[in-house]
Copies of this chain bind each other. A is one copy, B any other.
Amino acid sequence: MAAAHKHKMILALFTLNLCYQICLSSKPNFIIMLMDDMGWGDLGVFGDPNKETPNLDTMAAQGMLFPDFYSANPLCSPSRAALMSGRLPIRNGFYTTNAHARNAYTPQVIMGGIPDEEILLPEILKKAGYRNKIIGKWHLGQQPQYHPLKHGFDEWFGAPNCHFGPYNNKKTPNIPVYRNAEMIGRYYQDFVIDRKTGESNLTQIYIQEALTFIESQVTDKTPFFLYWAVDATHGPVYASKQFLGKSRRGLYGDAVSELDYGVGKILNKLIQLGVDKNTFVFFSSDNGAATYDKGHGGSNGPFLCGKETTFEGGMREPSIAWWPGRILPGQVSHQLGSLMDLYTTLASLSGQQIPTDRVVDGVDLSKVLFGNYEINRPLFYYRGNELMAVRLGQYKAHFWTWTNSIEEFKRGTDFCPGQIIENVTTHNQVNQTAQPLLFHLGRDPGEKYIIKPGSSEYKENIGPILTAVEDHKKNLIPGEPQLNWCDDAVMNWSPPGCEKLNQCYTAPPSKPTKCVWNH
């Protein structure tokens, strides 16, 4: 009996090992679902009282929830550049030195973009035989040399810039929408978002693009990387007709519901095609909810402030990992994670090396995903060229505090509506370096209670953070800043393919000026 049992055990282990070998031999597919301005608190599983995300809640129940996962920056372009490059914006150049600690991004007047020297995630995966597609917003530069197909992607459906203007104003070109290397139309004139009703079928198009891509890759038996960078929750928020007016939360909730529906459609497609057990899916968002949107934006749950700030509301993201059969269901990981980790993790899972000639900030989360291991590592909160704060374990230290200028605030831009914490939500840039503000995020996720500098808790926990900062700064070689110069001439006047649509416009003469970044 005992011998038979032992025999069975060995057989089981052998089979498991065999399966493991086979699994490894077939490279896993990857899907990164990156939301735009969606907040930590926008998902039912993260506490939205309206509980309108059944598909994401199910995804979490079947996978691993990350309540302590962060973007690399509180603003879209730098956050996305960091995700693609595995490196902080201060290294990859997605920042400005025009003024101190300013958020900068890539409106269509920007001259810069992702430098060729950066080795992007799709470039690494291409070497491993992957076919890479981006659907949605790129945001790493609108000039052709910066486009996705020049940086490792094989396919693109989407736009280089945001859809928040120009709104068909005739003076400046509407943002083009690309299929691969050529534009196929422009926002508002061809791809409509009704700014009165919020109606647009863009999310449905993005869902269908994803399903078609997945189907074709499965048919081709080619491993794929899909970067699903949808933007319905970025203002102007939109949803298609069948979702409009359905949410308890108004238009913003309609948009969330439609994206949730899309997540369900994509995961079900993987299951239906039988590739779910060979596909790693990660859901997250590019930065915190736009709390300044006067109640029409998303929710950052119990966290302080939102987008544009280095408080928790600005950078903590609703994150879920899903891989049936590899990631055990119903897990919660308190790993301090960063979107940059996806770079290193996906490279590792595809069997590729990450660059060794530069600092890569992302860490490989494989052990976390498959073994619920916890890696001790600091997280750096940058705003432009300044290291504003650092988290290590449960402690977070602010070296600089700033919401926005009192002038901007008085003009009605409030990054922290309803929230005022003395000496914390400051309206001038306060250098706290001499005595960093320390918070314990476990018992105080809202960063309300400054730990007394004289206390033993402060003394015990500030030291390791200061050491982490020292180590970080020692190895820091800032990249050439890409977001300093603006020029009307580089706008999307005549994108590739414009001639086929009769949508080529004449650019004005080049007149580079330093971009003005208010925040």
Residues on A lying within 8 angstroms of B by beta carbon are 41, 44, 46-51, 61, 65, 67-68, 247-250, 252-253, 294-296, 299, 301-302, 304, 332, 334, 394, 417-421, 440-446, 448-449
Contacts and interface: CB of A to CB of B under 8 A. Distances in A.
A301 B304 contact: no
28 contacts: A41-B47, A44-B332, A46-B47, A47-B47, A47-B48, A49-B301, A49-B302, A49-B441, A50-B67, A50-B334, A50-B442, A51-B67, A51-B332, A248-B442, A250-B442, A250-B443, A253-B443, A295-B443, A295-B448, A296-B443, A299-B302, A301-B301, A301-B302, A417-B449, A418-B419, A418-B421, A418-B448, A419-B420
Counting every copy of the chain, the complex holds: 2
Contacts of A249: 442-443
B418 A302 contact: no
A445 B67 contact: no
Nearest to A442: B248
A295 B441 CA distance: 11
A250 B443 CA distance: 6
Nearest to A43: B47
Contacts of A441: 49
8 tightest Cβ-Cβ pairs between the two chains A and B: A47-B47, A295-B449, A248-B442, A250-B443, A418-B448, A49-B67, A51-B332, A249-B443
Contacts of A50: 67, 334, 442
Nearest to A441: B49
A417 B294 CA distance: 21
Contacts of A252: 443
Nearest to A248: B442
A248 B49 contact: no
A449 B302 contact: no
A71 to B, nearest CB: 16
A424 to B, nearest CB: 8
A41 B420 contact: no
A415 to B, nearest CB: 13
B304 A302 contact: no
